[in-house]
Amino acid sequence: MKVLVIGSGGREHSLVQKLNGSKRVKKVFAAPGNGGMENEATCVPIKETEIGDLVRFAKEEQITWTIVGPEVPLLAGIVNAFQEAGLKVFGPTQEAALIEGSKDFAKAFMKKYSIPTADYQTFTKVEEAKAYIREKGAPIVIKADGLAAGKGVIVALQEEEALRAVENMLVDNQFGDAGSKVVVEEFLDGKEFSLMAFVNGEHVYPLTPARDHKRAFDGDKGPNTGGMGAFAPIPDLDPSQVQLAIERILKPAAKGLVQEGRSFTGILYAGLIETAEGPKVIEFNARLGDPETQVVLPLLENDIIQVVEDVTAKKDPKLTWTEGFCLGTVVAAQGYPGAYEKGKPIPKLDTVDTNCFVVHAGTTKDGEQLVSNGGRVLLIGSVAASLEESQRDNQRLLQCFGTSKDFFYRTDIGFPK
């Protein structure tokens, strides 16, 4: 069969790599893909938001399955459009994807269905938001209601930082329409973990949990990013916490979306935090996490297309997992998550004598030279018997970036100092 992956980042490259391991897949396309995918997929110069063109391409090329990676096309209704055209597509409809598209909707939804999460209030007027912040004090969390490319969440450790954040969003229009409404919520202290699941209606099939590191620098210091690395599974996560999350969070969320007339098919992502009362939801996403996907899929033994077909048919895919661990370290452009330059040459990465694999995120081709084209440039990953061994494998390959002034990476993924 022919499979089309929508998107251009690391999550999508990881999907391409997994699809290439399927004996049932003859050809993989990526739209638009990136420079590092070109040896593993046929990249198609159609943007992920050009939905009409993507539908036409899928029809003309007789694509068997389309898998949607990023959130923006999901919220734009790409799955609805493919379904209306009679095409097989894996991902939630626009209506179901609202669980990621609106923080206010997600919080109200969780309250309605008794899904554990932080206390909150939603505001459109800056003075009301500021009054609430002064009443509650810091630390406190400020979230833009809509999609803000991973930059719309401020964990304010000081009250002044929180007041400035709501001013930036509601008055200065920092995130445009995405920040015209803000959610101000209780700060939860604890260890975070990500739990993704294949979902179809009320049927929920969890993946192995992962943990990512959001802060830019070693020791979990510096600004929040989209994720500087991740690992799976999580040795210090009690299996009872995972089971609680499945029973109290994932299953009720899937059932609630059905009851709301927004039945969900695809990957439901729960960003969770361990608390004294059990796991609570930080956020829901309507797709695979990034960079968690890059360390979870290499551990999945199943044929990914068979899983997609089983889940679509509401059949248990019986997920099985490789023993051991996968750890991935992100190489980012100097300056990320702030301003950074593109077009920086990427050193040649030779994985022949290592246990490592490379996932490309923000890369493109300048002639035959791979160059940077985003903030998170690529991820170096390794599957090994222990996290320590996986990290050592990564560090050996990462040394080629050691003296570069154009890139940086954390040296402590999995073991923050």
Residue 128 exposure: Cα atoms within 13 Å on the Cβ side: 10
Residue where a domain stops, chosen among 78, 94, 110: 94
21 in a domain, yes or no?
Answer: yes
Kindly give the confidence (pLDDT) of every residue in the chain, 417 residues in length, as a single tens digit, with 9 standing for 90 and above: 999 999 999 999 999 999 999 999 999 999 999 999 999 999 999 999 999 999 999 999 999 999 999 999 999 999 999 999 999 999 999 999 999 999 999 999 999 999 999 999 999 999 999 999 999 999 999 999 998 877 788 889 999 999 999 999 999 988 988 889 999 999 998 999 999 999 999 999 999 999 999 999 999 999 889 899 999 999 999 999 999 999 999 999 999 999 999 999 999 999 999 999 999 999 999 999 999 999 999 999 999 999 999 999 999 999 999 999 999 999 999 999 999 999 999 988 877 667 899 999 999 999 989 999 999 999 999 999 999 999 999 998 998 887 789 999 999 999 987
Provide, for the chain, the percentages of residues in helix, strand and coil under a 3-state DSSP scheme, each rounded to the nearest 5.
30, 30, 40
Instruction: Look up the domain containing 371 and give its range.
Output: 325-408
| 196 and 285 fall within a common domain | yes
Beta bridge partners of 327: 231, 382
| 198 and 213 fall within a common domain | yes
Q: Which amino acid is at 396?
A: R
Consecutive H or E run containing 216: strand 215-217
| 210 and 308 fall within a common domain | yes
| 17 and 78 fall within a common domain | yes
| 297 and 350 fall within a common domain | no
The pLDDT of residue 280 is 97
CATH number at residue 21: 3.40.50.20
Nearest CA-CA partner of 31 in 51, 9, 19, 48 = 48
DSSP secondary structure letters along 227-241: -SEEEES-TTS-HHH
Residue where a domain stops, chosen among 142, 170, 186: 186
φ/ψ bin of 270: left (φ > 0), alpha (ψ from -120 to 50), beta (otherwise) = beta
CATH number at residue 332: 3.90.600.10
Residue where a domain stops, chosen among 77, 94, 111: 94
